[in-house]
Chains A and B, each alone.
Chain A
Amino acid sequence: MNAIGLPQILFISCALFFIGVYGFLTRRNMITMLMSVELILNSVNINFVAFNKYLFADKLDGLFFTLFIITIAAAEAAVAIAIIINLYRNYNTIDVDEVDTMKF
Chain B
Amino acid sequence: MNASTIIFYLLAAIIVGGGLMAVTSRKIFRSAVYLLFSLIGIAGLYFYLDYEFIGAVQIVVYVGGIVVLIIFSIFLTQGSGEDMKKPALGRAVFSALAAAFGCALTMLYINEQGFTPNGKPALEPSAGNIGAQMLDTAEHGYILPFEVVSMLLLAAMIGCIVIAIKIKIPPHPILPEKDDINIAEINHEFAPEMEG
Contact = CB atoms under 8 A, between A and B. Distances in A.
Contacts of A31: 28, 32, 70, 73-74, 77
Interface in A51-70: 53-60, 63-64, 66-68, 70
Contacts of A9: 45, 49
Interface residues of B, number: 87
A19 B98 CA distance: 11
A77 B117 contact: no
Nearest to B184: A90
Contacts of A56: 117-118
Contact of B163 (A19, A59, A79): A79
Given A23-B22, A23-B23, A78-B156, A14 B130 contact: no
A22 B92 CA distance: 8
Interface in A64-100: 64, 66-68, 70-79, 81-86, 88-91, 94
A29 B16 contact: no
A90 to B, nearest CB: 5
The binding surface of chain A is classed by DSSP as helix
Interface string B86-107: 0100011001101110110011
B42 A45 contact: yes
Given A39-B35, A55-B117, A70 B62 contact: yes
B129 A39 contact: no
Contact of A42 (B39, B103, B125, B129): B39
Interface in A19-52: 19-23, 25-29, 31-32, 34-36, 38-39, 42, 45-46, 49-50
**Chain A: number of interface residues, binned into ranges:** 35 or more
Contact of A50 (B49, B58, B73, B103): B49
Nearest to A4: B8
Contacts of B39: 38, 42
A79 B159 contact: yes
Interface of B: 1, 4-5, 8, 12, 15-16, 19-20, 22-24, 28, 31-32, 35, 38-39, 42, 45-46, 49-51, 53-54, 57-58, 61-62, 65-66, 69-70, 72-74, 76-78, 84-85, 87, 91-92, 95-96, 98-100, 102-103, 106-107, 110-111, 115-118, 120-123, 125, 129-130, 133-134, 142, 145, 149, 152-153, 156-157, 159-161, 163-164, 166, 182-184, 187, 194
14 contacts: A9-B45, A18-B100, A21-B98, A25-B98, A31-B73, A49-B51, A55-B118, A60-B123, A63-B51, A63-B53, A78-B160, A79-B156, A89-B182, A101-B187
Interface of A: 1, 3-4, 6-12, 14-23, 25-29, 31-32, 34-36, 38-39, 42, 45-46, 49-50, 53-60, 63-64, 66-68, 70-79, 81-86, 88-91, 94, 101
